[in-house]
A and B are shown apart, each in its own frame.
Chain A
Amino acid sequence: MSAVLYDAPGPRSRRRTAIGSVIAGLAVLGVLALVVLQLADQGQFEMELWSPWIDPTDESFTAVWDLIAEAGINTLLAAALSMAFSLVIGTLLALSRITAARWYRWAIVGVIELLRGIPVVIAIFFAARVLPQFGVDLPTLWYLVIGLTAYNSVIIAEIVRAGINSLPTGQREAAQSIGLRRSQVLGYVLLPQAFRVMLPALISQLVVVLKDTSLGFIISYEETVNTAGIIIQNLRNPIQTYLIIALLFIVVNYALSKFAVYLERRLSRGKKGVSKKAEEAAMTETGAAGA
């Protein structure tokens, strides 16, 4: 309940809320029951459809989970590589944007804006279709990583920039006044603090990257969603399979999101003012960037 919208409830409104809760609860249960009934009506609870996923004695059980485990590793691999490359390139982009002389800063800003405006799925498709025509022949994994990196490094560049800009100017001034060079000011004073502030936003971005690896299906990279499609072609159980896969994604990403929130709280406990502004900046940047 929002303290902004509602006053502390008195006896009457508490009673009204209780009645409302019962009615709403019944309505929610009713909708759920309708969904379950419709599913049952269409035979979606037949054991035949579920057993490859949940019954260890089923003949497909091991095969199905082996496939998914392998695909899961492919997903994690693509996400980890993309995230690592994006971090490095994104940081470099942000630094060059900050330190660039005016006459070529517009070029860096242009690249960032351009890549930010293109859907990540186009970036992946682009990498997979255009690079081979220029004689670059790579395993599919790398096309996915290149596409994801192209998109996410500019997002991370913006996060880094927001992080650095959020630091009090005194930090930079103090570093300069003790005679550090520009690279030292950035490397020893600003970046370490900025990274601390950015950590929650970076973890949220990892969730986005993890979700976006599922776009590998477009270029037939054997990640989780693509493999699920292959399983469905054989077992003909799309609802069950996609539910299980979705559940896997939700569990992992939910844990990561919670971790990000926890970190955010922990980090902002120590230093008030510094991180608050940065988080806000970083959060508006990433908002809902991903697929």
Chain B
Amino acid sequence: MDVIIDNLPLYADGLLTTLQICAYGFVGSLVLGTILGAFRVSPVAPLRWVGTSWVNVFRNCPLTIVLFFCAFGLPEVGINGQYFWFGVTGLVLYTSAFVCEAVRSGINSVSAGQAEAARAVGLNFGQSLSYVIMPQAVRSVVPPLGSVIIAMIKNSAIVGAFGVGGDLFAVGQQLSSAQGKAALPVLTGVALGYLVITIPGGLLLGWLERKVAIAR
């Protein structure tokens, strides 16, 4: 266990980088996923097609390929940047497909009668959306969205594995492969680093679910 204590600053940096990737990934995929979700339920057919194809492509393709594509494909077409941003881009493209599905199923879980009632009392589209549909949809989006986000945190390790310097996984790789430290304590430290994020995340999610739960 000395390895962990000796390299505590390295681990802390790794944790910070991981959290950074996750924060950017969270914001990006939430925004993109919500837009795509709106596309999927829109009356405009071409937008629905965009949403559907996006979901089918990115849900069925390994994140690894998406990341490799961003890292090695984008420079080929003249888009250059740091690996960090390629990694975040890949993570956002991939996660947004899952966010989109969560949003869509959330909206569809509201029964049509609710919207009909809202229209019947004379609310317009914006009002029925913000007073009737969204408050209910958000509640049923929380549980699936939460598992998507926790999955994303774990997937950020893959971003690290292919070369974002200094995240938790990269720290593990560096210590165990390059410096030849005993793998068991080094990787236990890395695993602990992720558990520090995912387990409180899961508890927070459980609490949030209970808080917003509604009986239907």
Residues of B within 8 A of A1 (CB): 41-43, 48
Mask, A115-129, CB within 8 Å of B = 1, is 011111110011001
Contact A214 B65 (CB under 8 A): yes
Q: Which residues, 226 to 243 on A, are CB-close (under 8 Å) to B?
A: 228-229, 232, 238-239, 242-243
**Is A169 at the interface (CB under 8 A from chain B)?**
no
Is A136's beta carbon under 8 Å from chain B?
no
Cα separation A288 to B154 with both chains bound (whole Å): 11
Identity of the chain A residue whose Cβ is nearest the Cβ of B69 in the assembled complex = A242
Interface size on A, residues (CB 8 A): 67
Contacts of A252 in B (CB 8 A): 60
- B115 contacts chain A at the CB level, 8 A cutoff: yes
Chain B positions 183 through 197: 1 when the CB is less than 8 Å from some CB of chain A, otherwise 0 = 110010011001100
Given the known interface contacts A42-B77, A113-B199, the answer about A291 and B44 at a Cβ–Cβ threshold of 8 Å is no
Q: Is the interface of A mostly helix, strand, loop or mixed?
A: helix
In the assembled complex, the Cα of A85 lies from the Cα of B57 at a distance in Å of 28
Residues on the B chain within 8 Å of A250, using CB? 56-57, 60-61
Interface contact A249-B61, CB-CB below 8 Å? yes
A114 to B73, CA, bound (A): 36
Question: Taking CB as reference atom, which chain A residue is nearest B42?
Answer: A1
User: How many B residues face the partner with a CB closer than 8 A?
Assistant: 70
> Does A104 touch B at the CB level, under 8 Å?
no
B144 contacts A284, C-beta separation under 8 Å: yes
Give Cα distance in the complex from A25 to B154, angstroms. Answer: 36
> Judging by beta carbons under 8 Å apart, are A122 and B76 in contact?
no
Q: Judge whether A168 is part of the interface by a CB distance below 8 angstroms.
A: no
Closest to B94 in A: A291
Interface CB pairs A-B, < 8 A, 8: A2-B41, A20-B44, A113-B199, A122-B190, A125-B169, A126-B191, A217-B64, A245-B65
What is the interface of chain B, defined by CB distance below 8 A to chain A? 41-50, 56-57, 59-66, 68-69, 72-73, 76-78, 95, 98, 102, 107-108, 110-112, 114-116, 119, 125, 129, 133, 143-144, 147-148, 151-152, 154-158, 161, 169, 172-173, 176-177, 182-184, 187, 190-191, 194-195, 198-199, 202
Residues of A with Cβ closer than 8 Å to B? 1-7, 9, 13, 17, 20-21, 24-25, 27-28, 38-39, 41-42, 44, 113-114, 116-122, 125-126, 129-130, 133, 207, 211-215, 217-218, 225, 228-229, 232, 238-239, 242-243, 245-246, 249-250, 252-254, 257, 283-285, 287-291
